Every structure is written in structure tokens, then in C-alpha cells.
Structure 1
Amino acid sequence: MNKITIKMILEHKWYEFKDKLSYRLPKDMREHIFNVVEKSLHCGDINKGYAEYMCFNCGEGIKAGFACKSKFCVKCGRLYTLKWVEKQQENMLNVVHRHSVFTIPE
């Protein structure tokens, strides 16, 4: 069974959808949406920029494409969410909580 990802769906249908969407949105909103989607489509693409890491022992190198750092991107958005959750857990008090609701009679 082939695994279909959100990125695959975007790559396959984005430009067709973009043509239908372009005339319905205000220009500033349209440009923002298009930029965010385009960034996520090219996330990790070494043709858009990369860092190269080389092993000093064997001389083998690998290229790692730059991340888009967009919340819309499946990979970068998930990483952002995980970091946010971790930060929220650090801010929470380590105590037993009780919940009470107070109402005011009419």
C-alpha cells in the first residue's frame, strides 16, 4: 500500500488549486498564502540552499537542505508544536490541581 503524504497532495494539486483560488482572495492575503505554501513545498530542498557536513575521519559528506520554519509545513510545524508543548510543560506547576466553578445566582 502506497503512503500518500500531505506534501505529495500539495505537490500534485497546488498549482491547479492556486489558479482557482487567485481571483477570490485579496491580493495581500493571496500573496501570503502562496508564499507559505511555496516555502513548505521547497522545505529541505538542497536546490534552495543547504549546509554540508563532512566527517573528519572518513571524508564522507552529506548535504542537509534548509528548513522553511513555517508553521504550515508538516515537518517544521510539527517541530514547532513539539517545542511549544515542551515549553508549556516546563511552565506548569508540579502540584495536584482542583477545579472549582463559582456561579452567581440571578
Structure 2
Amino acid sequence: MFEVKCIVAIVERGKADKIVNRAKMAGATGATIVYGRGTGESEIIKFLNIHIEASKEIIIILTKIDKYRPIFDAIIEAGRLKEPGTGIIFTVPVTNLVGLHHREMFEE
């Protein structure tokens, strides 16, 4: 059995396609992009007096646990995620995976 890690990045609207392209160059075989809206914007404005766009794109990538790091790093670089207000990224271990039709990409 193989171990899978899920990379989740929440970025500014309009940035996901560029970020996913960089992730693919780093080894990602695909991604899912969903749209969302952040709720912390009014709190940031109160405390830091900066505007952060409420519309977000959420990038979800599944990868083998031993291959995730270059993809993770490419997303950080492409999305400039170390800069304040550009987004966040985190990983989640995946268990009970069902329905992945491209499982052979994980079974090398």
C-alpha cells in the first residue's frame, strides 16, 4: 500500500492556474481548484489596516508522501506564500482513499 499526502493551498483569486502549472513542473500529476470566500478580511482591516481579497481559490493536490516536498515548495514560490496576505498552504495525511482512477501514478 502507498501513503498519500494532500496539499491544500488557499490563494488569491486568479492565481491558481499559474501556481498549478508550477506544481505540475515540480511533479504534480493534477490538481483540483475550487472557489471560496474568506471571512477574516474585516478583522485584518481593523487590526492591520490592509485589504485582503475575500475571494479565494483553493488548490488540492494528492501525491505520494515521498514526492510531496518539491511540489509543496514550488507552490510556495509560485504563489509567493511567504509574503503576508498572499495565502496559506498546509498538508493533510490521506487515509481511506476511494475513487482515484489514476492509482497507478502512486504505485511506482
TM range (shorter): under 0.3
Alignment TM-score, normalising by the size of structure 1: 0.24
Q: Rg: which structure is higher?
A: 1
Alignment TM-score, normalising by the size of structure 2: 0.24
Which structure has more strand as a fraction of its residues?
2
Which structure has more helix as a fraction of its residues?
1
